[in-house]
């Protein structure tokens, strides 16, 4: 079944995530579903500390323990559908500490400030109640192989790009934009702090009639 078009997404700005955020556990307020997140992977429900969920899209873990809200395209690939448990939150619930069934733990940074949605809705862009591979159009042939590898290719739908790369940052209305740009680190950090992220470029995903027509500057690890 062809996925619904991606209607809109809250713009995401560059977040300065610490590799060791101060911890403060919170179950959080009651929240309404994030309709943008639901376009890939189905409804999430409320994401709470202690709950077990599935990763909604592919993630790139940078510097060993960070998934940034900009969905960096360099770093270790964590497959969508990975089961994780939320251990704690930090920084007013904009940082979520999660652990895989195999024991790997890392922080998901969902961002904060006026350009972001409420953090308990933003985390729904990262975590889902069920395996997204059973609730989304995974494609076939070359597209299916590319999604599994976390690689954008010509022929993908907008929703399939989201599943492959995460939600596009810095775009207020993805459906109206014919060019999505994702920041990608070249060979890691210059320096040891997130403020030192200078070695990067933008990956361009161009669309025509809702289908990827060109991919520019993607450098797989």
Reported as a single tens digit per residue, the pLDDT across 199-210 is: 677 899 999 999
Q: Give φ, ψ of 159 to 5 degrees.
A: -60, -40
Please state the domain extents for the chain: 37-133, 137-216
CB 170 within 8 A of CB 12: yes
What is this structure's pTM?
0.80
What's the CA gap between 221 and 218, in Å, rounded? 10
Q: Taking Cα atoms as reference points, which of 124, 41, 135 lies closest to residue 86?
A: 124
Range 37-133 classified under CATH 2.60.40: no
pLDDT tens for 151-201 read 999 999 999 999 999 988 766 667 778 999 888 876 544 444 445 545 677
Residue 10 pLDDT greater than 50, yes or no:
no
Residues 6+ apart with CB under 8 A from 138: 144, 147, 160, 163
């Amino acid at each position: 079944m062809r996925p619904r078009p991606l209607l809109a997404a809250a713009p995401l700005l560059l977040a300065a995530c610490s590799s060791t955020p101060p911890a403060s556990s919170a179950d959080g307020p009651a929240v309404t579903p994030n309709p943008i997140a639901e376009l890939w992977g189905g409804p999430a429900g409320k994401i709470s500390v202690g709950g077990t969920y599935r990763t909604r899209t592919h993630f790139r873990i940078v510097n060993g323990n960070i998934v940034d809200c900009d969905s960096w395209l360099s770093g270790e690939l964590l497959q969508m559908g990975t089961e994780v448990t939320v251990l704690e939150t930090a920084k007013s619930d904009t940082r979520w500490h999660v652990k895989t069934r195999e024991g790997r733990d890392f922080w998901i940074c969902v961002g904060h400030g006026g350009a972001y949605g409420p953090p308990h809705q933003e985390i729904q862009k990262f975590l889902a109640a069920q395996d997204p591979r059973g609730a989304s159009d995974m494609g076939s042939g070359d597209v299916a192989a590319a999604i599994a590898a976390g690689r954008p290719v010509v022929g993908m739908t907008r929703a399939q790009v989201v599943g492959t790369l995460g939600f596009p940052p810095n775009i207020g209305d993805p459906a109206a934009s014919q060019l999505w740009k994702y920041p990608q680190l070249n060979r890691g950090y210059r320096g040891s702090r997130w403020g030192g992220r200078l070695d990067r470029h933008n990956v361009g995903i161009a669309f025509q009639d809702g289908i990827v027509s060109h991919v520019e500057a993607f450098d797989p690890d």
